[in-house]
Structures are given as C-alpha cells and as structure tokens.
Chain A
Amino acid sequence: MNSAFFGITLSLAGYWIGVWCNKKFRSPVFNPLLIGILLVILVLIVGKIDYSVYEIGGSYINFLLTPATICFALPLYRQINLLREHAMAIMAGVISGVVASAISILGLAAAFSFSHEEYVTFLPKSITTAIGMGVSEELGGIVTITVAAIVLTGIIGNMAGEAVMKLVKIKNPIAKGVALGTSAHAMGTAKAFNMGEIEGAMSSLSLVITGLLTVIAANIFAGFY
C-alpha cells in the first residue's frame, strides 16, 4: 500500500476526532493536536503499519506548512495599527521571553547535570524547527533531539497555553498572543488563532522575532555552561 491519501485521511480523521473530544470534554488534556498525533500513532502500531507508509501522505501535509506560515502575514497586516501602537510592549515581552527561555534551559541543564552537548540541544527549543535545527547543528547539539524538543514544546504550548494564561490571570489578547508565539512557535500560534485574530497576529509576529533573536541568544548562552 503506497497511497498518499492514507496518511492524509488518517491525519485529518485523527484531528477531527480530537476536535470532537475537545468539544465534548472541554479540557486542555483533550487537545485536538495531541489526540490527533496519538490516534495516528495508535493506528500505525495496532495495524502494524510502517511509518514510511504514513509518511507518504504526511509529507504532502508537511508541504503545506511553508505556504500556511507565509499566510500569517495577512492577520498581521490586518492588526497593523494595534501592532504599531503597542510595539514597545510586544518587543519587551519577546526579548524577556527569549532570555527567560535560555535561562530556564541553563538552570534545568545544571539541575540535571546535562552535558554541554545536551544543553545546546535544548537551547533552541522554543523556535520554529527550521531555525532551531540550524542553531543546534552550529552549536554542536544533537539535531534529532532538538527537533523532538521543538515539537514537544509546541504540543505543550498548544495544549496548556490557554490554561496557563488563565492561571496567571493574563487576559489581554495582545499579551496572550505574544506569550504563545514566543514560548511555543508556530504550534502555539495555531492555538493563538484559535483564541482570536488579535492573539494570532501577535503570536505570528512574536514567533518571527523570537526565531531571529534566539539565534543570537543561543550563541551567547552556549558559552555559559
């Protein structure tokens, strides 16, 4: 069996069931993205289907990521006035987030007595995969683990973002968007769009700035451990 439609249908079905569960149970644990991923993995394991069979369809879905990310430009453009008005707050939030991310990895690396290699592997975990892989490679990290860390960060951000914001009583849509985009890249941004267009636009902007600033921050922080 080597039809691309198998992997595509399975992914859509998994996500669709995830959305249904999310509506039914109204809890962040029932995150559509997480449920979708787990259901696909379950079907592959139970059905003894090789990952490569799924990947034929998966690669077509992946192909749409670049054009979809580019389309973040539209909501960003629609919210340009808000963006201009609050440029200071957004920039300050993103910069503190980039530094906070690096500090948290530094602290946790020390707590778990990571090797330098493991430390730099996790440094770019909050940014988009394409940039993160490059940073990890340049600093001498384990690129495959970096990719896994980035994807897991995205899943966690997508899952818990809304609940965390509620917990620390952040209600402003701009602050929510900046927080999601800075901490959980495009997967957090997908959630932000779910919450509203302002959240989504702010998250899109933050993910771009965070990606670029993290290249610099990771290079500096790599020397600290």
Chain B
Amino acid sequence: MKYVKQFMIIMLFSFLGELLHGLLPLPVPASIYGLILLFVALFTGIIKENQIKETADFLVEIMPVLFIPAGVGLMTRWEALKKLLLPLILVITLGTFFTMVVTGKVTDGILKKKGVQNK
C-alpha cells in the first residue's frame, strides 16, 4: 500500500499544478506550480517525507530517460533546423557555457568570501 499512497500524493500535486496552471493567467507551467505546492506541503508538515520518499526518489532518478523523447523529437524538426545549424550549435554551446561559468563563479565567489569550504 505504501507505493499506492505515495503515487497518489504525487499525482494529486501534479493535478493541483495543472489546476493552478489553468486558473492563473501567468506563464508558469503546471510542473513548477506543483513543485512549489509540494515544497510548501513538506515545509508546513502537511506531507511527511516518508509519505512520498521512495516514489519521489525513483522519479528523480529516472529523470534523464524522460528527456529522450524530447531529444528524439528534434529529428522531426530537422528541415527547419538544418538551415540554422551552424549558428544554432555555436549560439547554444557558447551561450550555455558562458551562462554556466558566470553563474558558477559568482556563486562560488560569494561562498568563498563567506568562508564556506569546498567539501
């Protein structure tokens, strides 16, 4: 019964997320609403960690697999993509690395200033 209950709770928050997404006129996807709601529920103690633990850890662990269909879907956009291929690859690679390094360095710099050790 443990997994039934855990799965039910996660599905319930997915549903609540979609409900909010339908009701509120903000550009926020259902998954983000659901994440925030579940976080608040955990924080306030409405949901206990052990009421979702195993199922939640399982879903987080298999996450990369869930992105495979999105990647495969790129093949259907090949006609539109190949015209822009070189700029596309350069913009994405350089832009992503730049963002990653700036973000990491700023965070790391502030943490170091506060004397947080690298564990």
Contacts and interface: CB of A to CB of B under 8 A. Distances in A.
B68 to A, nearest CB: 4
Given A151-B70, A179-B107, A71 B59 contact: yes
Interface of B: 10-11, 13-14, 17-18, 27-32, 34-36, 38-39, 42-43, 49, 52-53, 55-57, 59-77, 80-81, 84, 87-108, 110-112, 114, 116, 118-119
A101 B95 contact: yes
Contacts of B42: 73-74, 77
A37 B62 CA distance: 15
A195 interface: no
21 contacts: A11-B68, A55-B69, A61-B66, A66-B31, A66-B34, A71-B57, A74-B57, A76-B35, A93-B104, A93-B107, A105-B91, A122-B92, A130-B31, A144-B77, A151-B70, A168-B104, A172-B112, A179-B101, A183-B103, A186-B67, A204-B35
B101 A164 contact: yes
Contacts of B94: 104, 108
Contact of B69 (A7, A144, A160, A204): A7
A153 B103 contact: no
B104 A69 contact: no
A214 B13 CA distance: 25
B92 A149 contact: yes
Given A92-B110, A131-B28, A37 B103 contact: no
A190 B96 contact: no
Contacts of B27: 131, 134-135, 138, 215
A172 B101 CA distance: 13
A105 B95 CA distance: 6
Nearest to B16: A70
B92 A92 contact: no
Interface SS of chain B: helix
A157 B68 contact: no
A187 interface: yes
A158 B63 CA distance: 12
Interface string A143-157: 011011101111111
Contacts of A69: 31-32, 34-35
Given A90-B107, A93-B103, A122-B91, A40 B72 contact: yes
4 closest cross-chain pairs (CB), A and B: A130-B29, A93-B107, A97-B103, A58-B69
Interface string A44-63: 10000001001100110110
B75 A145 contact: no
Contact of A37 (B71, B81, B95, B99): B71
Given A100-B98, A172-B118, A178-B104, A155 B56 contact: no
Contacts of A168: 101, 104-105
B63 A190 contact: yes
Interface in A178-201: 178-180, 182-184, 186-187, 189-191, 193-194, 200
Interface in A193-225: 193-194, 200, 204, 206, 208, 211-212, 215
A41 B108 contact: no
